[in-house]
Chain A
């Protein structure tokens, strides 16, 4: 097995190159920042804090009676991305999501990719995320994944890798939108000097797409956002998006099925619902089809869905395509369905399910990042270089016990962006989650949610484990 570790393991700094020179796309911001006094920046950062809390952009801590809510720290220094980089990302992301949608359609229709031997039947059909109930359901515009969040990182030499696809209920876009509003409010002068691609049209774009994907025959489609309720940690985002799109925010109990139609209970009587942007996992959607104990869903929803009389965004069963084991097959999907070479690469990955790869992983675990195939949120993961000998041994035992549940990737030195820390400004690792919206056309919103690991040296950017966020500035393409 040839060595796949990237050439340089030193982190790529987004702002400053190896010689200490500010990169061209950061120069304007750097100049503006140097003109600000330290006090001004402190004031701005405090104001951001207060305002985020006031607006209520928080993660609620489940089960807390007093309702204390945690702020996700926002760092004022944006991640700036040059237009040329974004052009590549944009094309690559659209290509990837297009292929993924084709894949999901195939899995729930003729299984061509399995027949062609590109992916094994067992990998797909015995996967916990595969939903047999979806077989032969036709969805509007053949779109399964209306909203995708693709996690992208930049590694040592400056190349981009796709870390993970999130195709079920990807969240975080409200932070992207609020971060931009906050930045514009606190640094208006910077924005007047620097031409940054806007992002505020996301809710409009989403609403348009959702309406385009309404069932046939609905001439003024009614869209709703389905939320598990205010005790869900992402409730703020559900309410935010509903409000921005101007649609109702509903819970399962506000909806009911009758005459092969989904209705919403209103003060004017039942109102027909055409499109449900659901922020609820598949398992909880319909107690007559999935978990019988779920009170969050709508009994009978699957039947109406199968009959083509309601659209669910994202579709049921998209989880089959964002599983870590399926991730490995995405480049093949791009080739198989689109006949193209992937523009964006996967992170090199070893599958412990394969014996020779398992040996490599066990032998080199101290240099690798090992992840559970079925896991989320950064838990069930080992970062080799940051682990003690004891931790390594314990993890090796777990891997040996259940090899097919683990994959390993090289420790990518994620790129860094200067960030405010205790002692001033220092580089911190970042990733990027651009959002891809699919309707009759595929669109991206320039940038995405930039997550930053606030602890020095930490590569873990998840908000639930001490990460923060930044605004992402994609510069306008001057070349056109």
Chain B
């Protein structure tokens, strides 16, 4: 499936900002099943590209002259191949999978998560079907309700509240995977959908011995497919988010985001 993507972000500030630095993860990955056909980033200021340890294409944006607004625009086309049962073929990552067994504050499991996991998949997660089961159990248990959580909500809180959005579903899945000693990672990206859901999306990869990385969309209770365009992988939202920045000055910030994902005829 060929995705045509446009993603604009506008920041506005009530007072002048003296200095802004932002780490952008807004360029799709070159993975085995995903190829970037063309891609451009339009930003003010200075932009420095860098491939990070996770294989993500990142850019560091810096603005050193006073400013009170920032307009970012990314656009391009990506060709995504279909996946069988979400299996990503032969990903050549230099990072050992064991590195993805480590929970962060957002993906820390507790007794309730362990119990939930045991309930959902009593025999553990060993085959792709188990992955789907776990994902669908979470989907059923955590209703998709925007506005009840934020980027600091932990997996245990998500389970307790029973409400959240895609990053919460993902964090909870990761916590479950880690509690079972399985490597798993956060994936941020775009989803082509005819529904009204935001096209910016989050899902997971989980590593099963004998199968490699299996990519699963917890929010939608299904394996990832050629509708999923991957931007970045990391241990959680904090390290995979499209924009992470720091500024000096600025007063109150307001942000406006528009994402548009279309499919182009092959």
Contact = CB atoms under 8 A, between A and B. Distances in A.
Interface stretch (B96-104, B123-131, B134-142): B96-104
A306 B50 contact: yes
Contact of A257 (B21, B96, B99, B239): B21
A2 interface: no
B52 A257 contact: no
Contacts of A307: 48, 50
B102 A258 contact: no
B251 interface: no
Contact of B102 (A128, A137, A303): A128
B167 interface: no
Interface in A272-294: 287-289, 292
Contact of A111 (B52, B54, B96): B96
A128 B235 CA distance: 13
B94 interface: yes
Contact of A130 (B50, B52, B99): B99
Given A111-B96, A256-B19, A303 B246 contact: no
Contacts of B102: 125-126, 128, 130
Contacts of B46: 258-259
Contacts of A136: 53, 94
B98 A300 contact: no
Given A125-B99, A258-B64, A134 B21 contact: no
A258 B45 CA distance: 10
B50 A122 contact: no
Contact of B60 (A125, A135, A260, A292): A260
B74 interface: no
A300 B95 contact: no
Interface in B221-254: 235, 238-239, 244-246
Interface residues of B, number: 26
B119 to A, nearest CB: 25
Interface in B9-60: 19, 21, 23, 46, 48, 50, 52-54, 58, 60
Contacts of A256: 19, 21, 64
Contacts, number: 75
Contacts of B94: 135-136
Contacts of B235: 132
Contacts of A126: 98-99, 101-102
Given A126-B98, A128-B102, A287 B246 contact: yes
Interface string A101-130: 000000000010010000001101110101
A299 B53 contact: no
A47 interface: no
> Which residue, of B46, B48, B95, B101, has the highest number of chain A Cβ atoms within 10 A?
B48
B14 to A, nearest CB: 21
B62 interface: yes
Given A136-B53, A306-B52, A300 B101 contact: no
A287 B53 CA distance: 17
B62 A257 contact: yes
Contacts of B58: 303
Nearest to B244: A288
B62 A300 contact: yes
A133 interface: yes
A135 B23 CA distance: 19
Nearest to A256: B19
A132 B99 contact: yes
A269 to B, nearest CB: 11
Contact of B48 (A134, A259, A292): A259
A257 B115 CA distance: 46
Given A128-B102, A259-B46, A259-B62, A134 B53 contact: yes
B62 A303 contact: no
Contacts of A303: 23, 48, 50, 58, 60
A292 B246 CA distance: 9
Contacts of A132: 53-54, 95, 99, 235
B23 A258 contact: no
- The interface centre, meaning the residue of A128, A130, A300 with most chain B CB atoms within 10 A of its CB, is A300
Contacts of B19: 256
Given A132-B53, A306-B52, A121 B96 contact: yes
Interface string B62-74: 1010000000000
Contacts of A133: 52-53
A288 B246 contact: yes
Given A121-B96, A132-B95, A288 B50 contact: no
Nearest to A257: B21
Contacts of B48: 259-260, 303, 307
Contacts of B23: 288-289, 300, 303
A121 B53 contact: no
Contacts of B244: 288, 292
Given A258-B62, A259-B46, A288 B245 contact: yes
Nearest to A110: B94
Contacts of B238: 292
A177 to B, nearest CB: 37
A303 B56 CA distance: 12
A292 B241 CA distance: 13
Nearest to A295: B246
Nearest to B234: A132
Interface in A239-274: 256-260
A128 B108 CA distance: 13
A294 to B, nearest CB: 10
Contacts of B95: 132, 135
A125 B101 contact: yes
A300 B60 contact: yes
A130 B100 CA distance: 11
Contacts of B21: 256-258, 288, 299-300
Interface in B95-122: 95-96, 98-99, 101-102
B60 A257 contact: yes
Given A256-B64, A288-B244, 7 more contacts: A126-B98, A132-B99, A133-B53, A135-B53, A256-B19, A300-B60, A303-B23
19 contacts: A125-B101, A126-B98, A126-B102, A128-B102, A132-B95, A134-B53, A135-B53, A135-B95, A257-B21, A258-B64, A259-B46, A288-B23, A288-B246, A292-B244, A299-B245, A303-B48, A306-B50, A306-B53, A307-B48
Interface of A: 111, 114, 121-122, 124-126, 128, 130, 132-137, 256-260, 287-289, 292, 299-300, 303, 306-307
Report the 7 A-B pairs with minimum CB-CB distance, sorted nearest first: A125-B98, A299-B246, A135-B53, A125-B99, A260-B48, A258-B62, A121-B98
